[in-house]
Structure 1
Amino acid sequence: MTQEDPNYGFDTLQIHAGARPDPATGARQVPIYQTTAYVFRDAEHAAALFNLQEVGYIYSRLTNPTVAALQERVAVLEGGAGAVCCSSGHAAQIMALFPLMAPGRNVVVSTRLYGGSITQFSQTIKRFGWSATFVDFDDLDAVEAAIDDDTRAVFCESIANPGGYITDLDAISAIADKAGLPLIVDNTSATPYLCRPIEHGATLVVHSMTKYLTGNGTVTGGVVVDSGKFDWSASDKFPSLSAPEPAYHGLKFHETFGPLAFTFHGIAIGLRDLGMTLNPQAAHYTLMGIETLSLRMDRHVENAMKIAAWLETHDAVEAVTYAGLPSSRYNDRVARICPKGAGGLFTVALKGGYESCIKFVDALEIFSHVANLGDTRSLVIHSASTTHRQLSEEQQVAAGAAPNVVRISIGIEDANDLIADLDQALNKAK
Structure 2
Amino acid sequence: MSSSPRPEPPVYDWDGFGFETRQVHAGEYPDRNHGLRVPPIALSAGYLFDDFDDQVSRFDGSIHWRAEDHAGRATAPSPSEHAPIYSRQGNPTNWVAEERLASLEGGVVSVAVSSGQAAITSALLALAQHGDHIVSTASIYGGTRILFGRSFARFGIGFDYVWDADDDAEWERAIRPETKAIFTETVPNPCNDVTDLRRIAEVAARHHLPLVVDNTVGTPALIRPFEHGANVVVHSTTKFLTGHGAAVGGAIVDGGNFDWAAAERAGRSFPLITQSSRAGVAPMLERFGRGAYARAVRESVVNDIGPTLSPLHGFLLHQGMETLSLRMERHVESAIRIAAWLEQQPEVESVDYAGLPSNPLHARAVRDYGADAEGRGRTGSVFGVTVRGGIEGARAFVNGLRVFSRMTGIGDTRSMVIHPLSSTHSTFAPELNERLGITPGLLRLSVGLESAEDLIRDLRHALDRL
Give the TM-score, by structure 1 length.
0.97
Partner of residue 324, structure 1: 355
Q: Are 2:435 and 1:394 equivalent residues in the alignment?
A: no
TM superposition shift of 1:350? 1.2
Partner of residue 212, structure 2: 184
Equivalent pair of 2:353/2:359 in contact (CA under 8 Å): yes
Task: Please point out which of 21, 30, 33 is paired with 2:39.
Answer: 30
Task: Please point out which of 44, 50, 57 is paired with 1:41.
Answer: 50
Task: Please point out which of 187, 190, 193 is paired with 1:159.
Answer: 187
CA distance in 1, matches of 2:183, 2:299: 24
Q: Are 2:14 and 1:20 equivalent residues in the alignment?
A: no
- Post-superposition CA distance 1:216-258 (Å, at most 9, x none): 0001100000000111122152111101112x74420011111
Task: Please point out which of 267, 283, 287 is paired with 1:252.
Answer: 283
Partner of residue 420, structure 1: 457
Deviates more, 1:416-425 or 1:351-360: 351-360
Give the counterpart letter for 1:79 in structure 2.
G
- Structure 1 segment 352-367 matched on structure 2, within 5 A: 352-367=389-404
- Structure 1 segment 5-404 matched on structure 2, within 5 A: 5-6=15-16, 8-55=17-64, 56-141=83-168, 142-234=170-262, 235=264, 236=267, 237-246=269-278, 249-339=280-370, 341-404=378-441
CA distance in 2, matches of 1:3, 1:404: 50
TM superposition shift of 1:138? 3.5
Equivalent pair of 1:111/1:398 in contact (CA under 8 Å): no
Secondary structure, counterpart of 2:261 in structure 1: coil
- Post-superposition CA distance 1:152-210 (Å, at most 9, x none): 10001001111111100000000000000000000000100000000000010000000
TM superposition shift of 1:269? 1.4
Secondary structure, counterpart of 1:233 in structure 2: helix
Deviates more, 1:131-140 or 1:84-93: 131-140
Deviates more, 1:333-342 or 1:147-156: 333-342
Give the counterpart letter for 1:39 in structure 2.
L
CA distance in 2, matches of 1:362, 1:298: 29
CA distance in 2, matches of 1:314, 1:109: 35
Equivalent pair of 2:12/2:28 in contact (CA under 8 Å): no
- Post-superposition CA distance 1:360-417 (Å, at most 9, x none): 1111000001110000111000011011111112222333422220000011111011
Secondary structure, counterpart of 1:68 in structure 2: helix
Secondary structure, counterpart of 1:425 in structure 2: helix
Give the counterpart letter for 1:421 in structure 2.
D
Secondary structure, counterpart of 1:319 in structure 2: strand
Give the counterpart letter for 1:171 in structure 2.
R
Larger radius of gyration: 2
CA distance in 2, matches of 1:315, 1:408: 18
Secondary structure, counterpart of 2:260 in structure 1: coil
Give the counterpart letter for 1:182 in structure 2.
P
CA distance in 2, matches of 1:148, 1:266: 24
Partner of residue 411, structure 1: 448
Change (3 A) 1:403 1:173: same
CA distance in 2, matches of 1:67, 1:402: 40
Percent of aligned pairs with the same amino acid: 42
CA distance in 1, matches of 2:13, 2:366: 25
CA distance in 1, matches of 2:161, 2:183: 10
Secondary structure, counterpart of 1:225 in structure 2: strand
Task: Extract unaligned runs of 5+ from structure 2.
Answer: 1-10, 65-82, 372-377
Secondary structure, counterpart of 1:18 in structure 2: coil
Give the TM-score, by structure 2 length.
0.89
Equivalent pair of 2:254/2:291 in contact (CA under 8 Å): yes
Equivalent pair of 2:14/2:22 in contact (CA under 8 Å): no
Deviates more, 1:146-155 or 1:236-245: 236-245
CA distance in 2, matches of 1:347, 1:167: 16
Change (3 A) 1:124 1:3: farther
TM superposition shift of 1:137? 4.2
TM superposition shift of 1:145? 2.6
TM superposition shift of 1:3? 7.0
Equivalent pair of 2:12/2:29 in contact (CA under 8 Å): no
TM superposition shift of 1:324? 1.1
Equivalent pair of 1:140/1:171 in contact (CA under 8 Å): no
Secondary structure, counterpart of 2:304 in structure 1: helix
CA distance in 2, matches of 1:351, 1:331: 24
CA distance in 1, matches of 2:19, 2:218: 15
Secondary structure, counterpart of 1:184 in structure 2: strand
- Post-superposition CA distance 1:309-353 (Å, at most 9, x none): 000011110000111100011111123222262110100011211
